[in-house]
Amino acid sequence: MGNVTGSVDLAGMERLQYDYSSALMPQDRPDSFTMWRYRKLLPGADGPVRYPMPIGGTPLLPAPALRQTLGMPRLWIKDETRNPTASNKDRATALVIEDGLRNGKDTITTASTGNAAIATAFGAAAAGVRAVIFVSTDCQPTKLALMAQAGAWVFRVPDGYAAAVDLSRGAARTFGWLDRNTGANPLTIEAKKTVAFEVWEQLGRRLPDVMIAPVGDGPTLVALDKGFAELVSCGLTTRQPRLIGVQAEHCQPLVRAWLGMAPGPAELDPAATLADGIAVVRPAIGDAVLEAVRGSGGAMTAVTERALLSAVATLAGEAGVGAEPAGAAALAGLESAVEGGLVDRLETVVLLVTGRETKAGGRPAEPSRSAVVETLDEVQRVLEGNR
Ligand SMILES: Cc1ncc(COP(=O)(O)O)c(C=O)c1O
């Protein structure tokens, strides 16, 4: 894998750097590939990849019917729902577990609004490591069922997602577990930046004018910015696309910050939006999101629940892409960006569709691997009592 040559601070998290050159980017044109294609721009030692599931290499879809409806002939959908657990979270999970397998870790932990936890539960199951998940007690039951079915320990935290993050990070420090927390482990950014490399290659080694992505904690968008910046550093392109970040009207801390306005309580109400994946009140790397958006000449935009639901329906009906509300946010954001004059219909625009709802089938999961907790002592007691 690539040789990391240093790091700079990224909102309290390391931003890894390499000895950039065009030789780090593969030259061949494979019919199908995975994110490990970009190993020279990922951290870690050489040798076979141990993570057992194929990740990334998701399609860039032309969506002809949607192009026609919107009058946007150069619109593309980067369909991240094609990853093994149907979201872009599989990329970060894979690189963190790969690192853990190489360092002899047997337990991975993360907090999550849902999808990162599902990716972690399934990825850990595939790799033979234990997953210990922390979610808000508000987490969707269908998502909880999937985590449990993959054999993860699931701790539900009454004080919400931010408290779940604190507990998971505390557990990683205290028990020496692998910390997959998004916006805390720099490998999450490294993995997710491979989306930018894929888009560039899939457009024939060209960049779009604009890329639109949903924003929760921020790593998805910040990673796009890092990936595009690395293409510039490698001498493969000279500019970066404008990045447009999308949040739900009911939980839009970064849109308000972008506008220089303090959010009111109705704009910080995660329970009020169906877009649970992006319902984050205190984004882990919010400042880095604003910097990336500003630096690219892009913008932040908020979308209504109605627009989110309509985007879900449009993606299904006009592109054949099943998305959950957070996963469809880029399309909702596109419509408001076009109306607001931020995007021209003739530009090359890529929508990042980040996730699809999935169903848990089969037998119900083992209930003993779940508990409501508020402290690390409780976590330890539950785990020790079930050895
Ligand atoms: C479907 C979906 N889209 C977008 C996001 C937001 O990603 P990030 O936290 O990297 O900003 C999430 C996060 O959970 C998600 O589940």
Spell out where the chain has E strands: 4-10, 13-18, 60-61, 75-79, 107-112, 130-136, 153-157, 178-179, 210-214, 242-248, 299-303, 349-353, 370-372
Give SS3 for 84.
coil
Q: Which tokens go with 282?
A: 């205190």
The residues, ordered by sequence, that sit 6+ positions from 130 with a Cβ below 8 Å of its Cβ are 106, 107, 108, 124, 153
Could you tell me if 152 and 365 are in contact, meaning their C-beta atoms sit under 8 angstroms apart?
no
Phi, psi of 347 (to 5 degrees): -75, 160
Task: Locate the ligand 1 atom nearest the alpha carbon of residue 219 and give its number.
Answer: 10
Residue 277 and residue 218 in contact, taking contact as beta carbons nearer than 8 Å: no
Index of the ligand 1 atom closest to the CA of residue 284: 9
Residue 227, pLDDT above cutoff 80: yes
- What is d(CA 57, CA 52) in angstroms, rounded to the nearest whole number? 15
In this structure, the number of other CB atoms found within 10 A of the CB of residue 29 comes to 9
Which pLDDT score is estimated for 366?
Answer: 62
Q: What residue has token string 């369909």?
A: 79
Instruction: Point out which residues pair with 18 in neighbouring strands.
Output: 4
Q: Does residue 164 have a pLDDT over 70?
A: yes
153 has a pLDDT exceeding 80 = yes
Does position 44 have pLDDT exceeding 90, yes or no?
no
Residue 376 pLDDT > 90, yes or no? yes
CA atoms within 13 A on the CB side of 325: 21
Mean pLDDT within 82-105? 97
CATH topology for 60-86+188-353? Answer: Rossmann fold (3.40.50)
- Atom 14 in ligand 1: residue holding the nearest Cα: 277
Residue 31 pLDDT: 82
Average pLDDT over every residue of 147-175 = 96
Q: What CA–CA distance (Å, rounded) separates 100 from 104?
A: 6
Per-residue pLDDT at 14: 83
Query: How far, in Å, from the CA of 350 to the mean position of ligand 1?
Result: 17
The dihedrals phi and psi of 155, each to the nearest 5 degrees, come to: -105, 125
Query: Fold match between 60-86+188-353 and 87-184+361-385?
Result: yes
What percent of the chain has a predicted confidence (pLDDT) above 90?
A: 88
Specify the pTM: 0.95
Q: Sketch the domain layout of the chain as residue ranges.
A: 60-86+188-353, 87-184+361-385
Statement: residue 252 has pLDDT above 80: yes
Amino acid 365: pLDDT = 67
pLDDT, one tens digit per residue, over 48-67 is 999 999 999 999 999 999 99
Give per-residue pLDDT as tens, 177-191: 999 999 889 999 999
End-to-end CA distance of the chain: 37
DSSP 81: G
Is 183 touching ligand 1 by the criterion CB < 6 Å? no
C-alpha count within 13 angstroms, C-beta hemisphere, residue 352: 26
Cβ atoms of residues 305 and 248 within 8 Å: yes
Q: Is 215 in the pocket of ligand 1 (CB under 6 A)?
A: yes
Answer yes or no: is the C-beta of 277 below 6 A from any ligand 1 atom: yes
Contacts of 33 (CB under 8 A, 6+ apart): 56, 57
Query: Are residues 230 and 193 in contact, defined by beta-carbon separation less than 8 angstroms?
Result: yes
Question: Who contacts 318 (Cβ-Cβ below 8 Å, separation ≥6)?
Answer: 63, 65, 66, 69
pLDDT at 387: 66
Q: What pLDDT digit, counting tens, does each position of 326-374 carry?
A: 999 999 999 999 999 999 999 999 999 999 988 887 766 666 799 999 9
CA of 332 to the centre of ligand 1 (A): 15
Fold of 87-184+361-385: Rossmann fold (3.40.50)
Model confidence at 261: pLDDT above 80: yes
75-79 and 60-61 beta bridge pairing: antiparallel
Can you give the pLDDT at residue 2? 63
Beta carbons within 10 angstroms of residue 306's beta carbon:
10
Question: Given pLDDT bands bounded at 50, 70 and 90, which one contains residue 95?
Answer: very high
- Arithmetic mean of pLDDT over the chain: 94
What is the model's pLDDT at position 357? 84
Closest-lying ligand 1 atom to the alpha carbon of residue 87: 1
Q: Minimum mean pLDDT among 24-38, 214-228, 247-261: which range?
A: 24-38
Give the pLDDT score at 308.
Answer: 98
Q: How far apart are CA 249 and CA 40, in angstroms?
A: 39
**What integer pLDDT is reported at residue 364 of this predicted model?**
66
Q: Does residue 236 surpass a pLDDT of 90? A: yes
Distances in Å between the alpha carbon of 284 and those of 46, 70, 152, 287, 336?
Answer: 31, 34, 24, 9, 25
Q: Compute the Cα dihedral for 241, 246, 252, 255 and give only its sign.
A: positive
In short, whether 110's Cβ falls inside 6 Å of ligand 1 is no
The pLDDT value given to residue 11: 63
Residues with Cβ within 8 Å of 73's Cβ and at least 6 positions away in sequence, in order, are: 67, 346
Length of the chain: 387
State the average pLDDT over residues 156-161.
96
**Does the Cβ of 182 fall within 6 Å of ligand 1?**
yes
What's the CA-to-centroid distance between 28 and ligand 1, angstroms?
31
Q: Give the pLDDT band of residue 269 (cuts 50, 70, 90).
A: very high
Distances (CA, A) of 352 to 77, 158, 283, 349: 6, 31, 19, 10
Give me 325's structure tokens: 């509300």
Say if residue 175 is exposed, middle or buried (CB neighbours under 10 Å; 0-12, 13-18, 19+).
middle
